[in-house]
Amino acid sequence: MSSYDEIGAVLKSAQRIGVAAHVRPDGDAVGSLLGLALSLREMGKEVYAILEDKVPGNLLFMPEVGFIRQSDGVALDLDAAVALDTANQERLGDKTCACFAKAGTLINIDHHGSNPRYGDMPHVEPTASSTGQMVYELLKHQGMPITDAIRQNLYVAISTDTGSFQYPATSPATHEIIAEMMAAGLDTARLCVALYQTYPARRLELMRAMLNEMQFCSNNRIVSWQLTHETMVRCAMVPGDTEGLIDTLRMVDTVVAAVIFEDMPDGKIRASARSKDARVDVSAVCAKFGGGGHRLAAGARMKGPISAAAEIFLKELENEVRRID
Amino acid sequence: MSSYDEIGAVLKSAQRIGVAAHVRPDGDAVGSLLGLALSLREMGKEVYAILEDKVPGNLLFMPEVGFIRQSDGVALDLDAAVALDTANQERLGDKTCACFAKAGTLINIDHHGSNPRYGDMPHVEPTASSTGQMVYELLKHQGMPITDAIRQNLYVAISTDTGSFQYPATSPATHEIIAEMMAAGLDTARLCVALYQTYPARRLELMRAMLNEMQFCSNNRIVSWQLTHETMVRCAMVPGDTEGLIDTLRMVDTVVAAVIFEDMPDGKIRASARSKDARVDVSAVCAKFGGGGHRLAAGARMKGPISAAAEIFLKELENEVRRID
């Protein structure tokens, strides 16, 4: 594993730098990407901030989000490339991998335990709350620029990936970083309004559909929902609308594991699973279907139709939940 | 206003001490009450931790919650009494006021701006995130005992009153205190599961009813819900079940103010209002009906029936929302 000193030295000596994060970007992907990219730009570097997919609508408020370009698949002439929050290189996306194909050095900064330490300079901290927290520590310890826009992006990364400081990976360092950023002028309440109180009304429609259609099994220890094309059309759903919906299902006291199945445009089914008990490893279940993630939060893409995918996934999940019997 | 030094001196010299918080106790009331009461007990004081109402079911996991007794209305022989998180003395409840009637010194520790600084030693900090945060600062600065049970109770107080660190009163000090308590061994993730992921299934029933019955007005800037006796019976609701439900209504982007009207057992209607815009002061609206609170979170008790209460309250709230036109 490469140290922040080693990574900092490479970034300081490089001039053309690419920065990317995983497909279907979430708050930690976009926030850590912008946090690092904006700092490098402040340093006078030629920075390419790229993502395979569009930034979802609910994150378009993030400062300088327009700096991110969608990957076009053409190899960039880069001294260094940084993959952020991306558990394996393929999760960057095909076009993004092509953009990075000729990079001099591939740096891999991530907090997913399943990360195989790919690239020339991997730095993986499975105990870090978020990749946003790791980027803050990198910038701070290497004396790299930290502007208000960078603080805002890193706050979004940390806040979303910790479920607003509730998940177990939240550490004293997480809170200390937020305190430091606030003391430097960061307005967190405004960001929280944008993040958590600015959903389109159709979000409540989706939630209503979920509450009407959710199904309990395994003695009410598993709750699941099948989000179909029909519901998406009826609610005029756009990507990002489902973010965090699963937390509402998780709330129930008897529930140990929650999973949402979602029809994808390509006919595949996305399964997003959460566990509330460290003994129940949803990443192991997702791995059986070619997916992965963390013990308590993981996902997989499955073959349709959605009802068949749900049936075989739930069978495996029920086996996993039996661990706590 | 009395300083923490002055309050600390009185508490240290007193032997028989009563501690109470407001009627219909929430996380900050119970958490700050237990935080201070347990510290005083550790100091060898004779402590009476009392509340007018029962601790709601969702907070019964709080450590040492059994130390709290419901007020019986009989005056206690006290050297000092402390009112916590209680915006005016009446909000302690009639029996609790009677219990405190013969107390030598009444200390008033609170963060509500509307607090008239009642009692012999008021200490009101409207910028504090929570009374729990104030109790932590008092204990720390006066060198009073801080055990793990105290940390857990103060965490619950701070986390619930800041909406998990999202509300504007969250400050660098708030995060620093959490970091300090975690460094001392506090397990916040376990508490968050108990606080935010341990709702009875009927909570989702209530949420479904809310999403089916919510009403928008004032150009979708106000959303409201009337929680009737019928719905409570149908969902087998118990006190505490509605805690935080309003946050789901607040989420919608067009919404500036949200209000839930609730049938009370005595025939009155409880209005709980939230604002998302500092220019829209819901405490001013509640004050017109004899209530109060903060600019962004306030409540009132009104005359029924619920539909009539909603109509006149919403008329006033619509006027308030017009401030931002």
325 residues of chain B, pLDDT tens digit each = 999 999 999 999 999 999 999 999 999 999 999 999 999 999 999 999 999 999 998 899 999 999 999 999 999 999 999 999 999 999 999 999 999 999 999 999 999 988 999 999 999 999 999 999 999 999 999 999 999 999 999 999 999 999 999 999 999 999 999 999 999 999 999 999 999 888 888 999 999 999 999 999 999 999 999 999 999 999 999 877 888 899 899 889 999 999 999 999 999 999 999 998 889 999 999 999 999 888 989 999 999 999 999 999 999 999 999 988 8
Q: B258 and B176: one domain?
A: no
Q: A188 and A215: one domain?
A: no
Q: Which residue has the higher pLDDT, A239 or B284?
A: B284
* pLDDT exceeds 90 at position A84: yes
Which among A173, A196, A219 is the end of a domain?
A196
Cα–Cα dist A276/B196, whole Å: 11
Of A164, A175, A253, the CB nearest to B200: A253
Cα–Cα dist A85/A101, whole Å: 19
The domain that holds A213 is classified in CATH as 3.10.310.30
A183 vs B172: CB contact, 8 Å cut-off?
A: yes
State the ipTM, two decimals. Answer: 0.90
Interface contacts (A, B; CB < 8 Å): 123
Q: A228 and A207: one domain?
A: yes
Residues of chain B with a CB closer than 8 angstroms to some CB in chain A: 163-168, 170-176, 178-180, 182-183, 188-189, 192-193, 196-201, 203-204, 207-208, 211-212, 214, 216, 220, 248, 250-255, 276
* pLDDT exceeds 80 at position A240: no
Q: How many angstroms separate the CA of residue B235 from the nearest CA in chain A?
A: 14
In 3D space, the residue among A128, A129, A29 whose CA is nearest the CA of residue A82 turns out to be A29
The mean pLDDT of A141-165, rounded to a whole number, is 97
B192 vs A253: CB contact, 8 Å cut-off?
A: no
Which among A196, A228, A254 is the end of a domain?
A196
Computed on alpha carbons and rounded to an integer, the radius of gyration of chain A in Å comes to 20
The mean pLDDT of A16-34, rounded to a whole number, is 97
**Cα B311 to chain center, whole Å?**
26
The mean pLDDT of A98-127, rounded to a whole number, is 96
Chain B environment of A204 (Cβ under 8 Å)? 211, 214, 248, 251-252
The mean pLDDT of A151-158, rounded to a whole number, is 98
Encoded amino acid at A252, one letter: V
Q: Which residues contact B120 (CB under 8 A, 6 or more apart)?
A: B105, B106, B107
Chain B environment of A182 (Cβ under 8 Å)? 171-172, 175
In 3D space, the residue among B188, B179, B140 whose CA is nearest the CA of residue A178 turns out to be B179
Cα–Cα dist A140/B62, whole Å: 38
Of B174, B192, B248, the CB nearest to A166: B192
Predicted pLDDT at B242: 86
A178 vs B188: CB contact, 8 Å cut-off?
A: no
- φ/ψ (deg, to 5) at B158: -70, -45
Chain B environment of A129 (Cβ under 8 Å)? none
Chain B environment of A203 (Cβ under 8 Å)? 251-252
Q: How many angstroms separate the CA of residue B250 from the nearest CA in chain A?
A: 6
Domain holding B66, by residue range, is 4-196
B212 vs A208: CB contact, 8 Å cut-off?
A: yes
What's chain B's length in residues?
A: 325
Q: How many angstroms separate the CA of residue A196 from the nearest CA in chain B?
A: 6
B170 vs A193: CB contact, 8 Å cut-off?
A: no
A208 vs B211: CB contact, 8 Å cut-off?
A: yes
Cα–Cα dist A94/A78, whole Å: 17
Alpha helices, DSSP H only, in chain A?
4-13, 27-42, 94-99, 131-141, 148-161, 172-183, 188-196, 201-213, 229-234, 245-250, 282-287, 306-321
The domain that holds A181 is classified in CATH as 3.90.1640.10
Which element (helix H / strand E) includes B39?
helix B27-42
pLDDT band at A146; cut points 50, 70, 90: very high
Cα–Cα dist A84/A124, whole Å: 10
Q: Which residues contact A219 (CB under 8 A, 6 or more apart)?
A: A254
Interface test with A, best of B58, B129, B174, B211 (most A CBs within 10 A): B211
Predicted pLDDT at A156: 98
Using a pLDDT cut of 70, give the percent of chain A over it.
Answer: 100
Q: How many angstroms separate the CA of residue B162 from the nearest CA in chain A?
A: 10
B211 vs A200: CB contact, 8 Å cut-off?
A: no
Predicted pLDDT at B33: 98
In 3D space, the residue among B115, B45, B130, B54 whose CA is nearest the CA of residue B80 turns out to be B45
Q: B119 and B249: one domain?
A: no
Which among B196, B216, B249 is the end of a domain?
B196
Interface test with A, best of B186, B188, B249, B276 (most A CBs within 10 A): B188
Q: How many domains does chain A have?
A: 2
Q: B16 and B138: one domain?
A: yes
Q: B292 and B210: one domain?
A: yes
Predicted pLDDT at A114: 86
Predicted pLDDT at B293: 84
Computed on alpha carbons and rounded to an integer, the radius of gyration of chain B in Å comes to 20
Helix, strand, or coil here: A64?
coil
Q: A169 and A233: one domain?
A: no
Chain A environment of B193 (Cβ under 8 Å)? 276
Find the closest chain B residue to A192 by CA distance: B166
Cα–Cα dist A119/A97, whole Å: 12
B172 vs A165: CB contact, 8 Å cut-off?
A: no
Q: A182 and A225: one domain?
A: no
Predicted pLDDT at A238: 85
- φ/ψ (deg, to 5) at B14: -75, 155
Q: A206 and A160: one domain?
A: no
Q: How many angstroms separate the CA of residue B254 from the nearest CA in chain A?
A: 8
Q: A45 and A176: one domain?
A: yes
Find the closest chain B residue to A258 by CA distance: B197
Chain B environment of A193 (Cβ under 8 Å)? 276
Q: A208 and A315: one domain?
A: yes
* pLDDT exceeds 90 at position A188: yes
Chain B environment of A220 (Cβ under 8 Å)? 201
pLDDT band at A294; cut points 50, 70, 90: confident
- A92-104: pLDDT as tens digits: 999 999 999 999 9
A204 vs B193: CB contact, 8 Å cut-off?
A: no
Q: B110 and B90: one domain?
A: yes
Predicted pLDDT at B294: 84
